[in-house]
Structure formats: C-alpha cells, structure tokens
Amino acid sequence: MTTVVHIDDTVRDYETWKPAFDGLVQYYTEAGARNCRVARFTHNPNRVLIELDFDTMAEAEAFRDGLHKLIDLPRTQMLLVSHEVSILELVDDRRLTARASS
C-alpha cells in the first residue's frame, strides 16, 4: 500500500520557494519518501501542490509530524502564505496509454 502526503502550499514567490524546497530532498528521502511530485496552478503559479509517496502510514505520519517543526521555522514562514497537509491512501494508480488510431 502506498500512502501519500499531500501538501497544498501557497508561497509568496515560486522562484524563491523552489530552491529552498529543492534543498530539502535529502530530508524527504531520509524520512522514507520514495517519490515526489510538484505541480503548480496555471492560474496561480504561487499555489503549489506536492505529493510524496511513502510505503507505510507510519512513515507518512512521522514525516507530517516532523514537517510541522520545519514549517514553524521563521525562514520557512517567510516563504509561505498558507500551508495544508493531508495524508491519503492510494487506492488506484494506472498508467493510461493512448488508443491506437484506426
């Protein structure tokens, strides 16, 4: 079972936030994250969705709990407008292929 930590952040400036986020890759991997996806809204490029995949619920919960400490740091708060974290259970994951043309 894959457990997903879903983070919905609105950042003050994406171009400033992204290098700070990239600097945390080792933190995420040491916490047990095995995959990470980052997306941003086309109509609001400062709103960022992050999904991190974990093998267990316990790893995801421990990561979420540790993330609170990171988010509370003044230097992190300077980058964020809002921050919300959810834990999801992945129930279906499909790779879709294009239909063959007739």
| CA dihedral sign of residues 6, 49, 22, 91 | positive
**pTM for the complete prediction?**
0.87
Tokens 């421990």 belong to 62
DSSP three-state, residue 45:
coil
Q: Can you name the CATH fold of 3-89?
A: Alpha-Beta Plaits (3.30.70)
Ordered by start, the domain boundaries in the chain are 3-89
**Comparing C-alpha atoms, which of 44, 32, 23 is closest to residue 5?**
32
**Comparing C-alpha atoms, which of 33, 38, 37, 35 is closest to residue 56?**
33
Q: How does pLDDT run along the chain (102 residues), one tens digit per residue?
A: 899 999 999 999 999 999 999 999 999 999 999 999 999 999 999 999 999 999 999 999 999 999 988 888 898 889 999 999 999 999 998 888 877 665
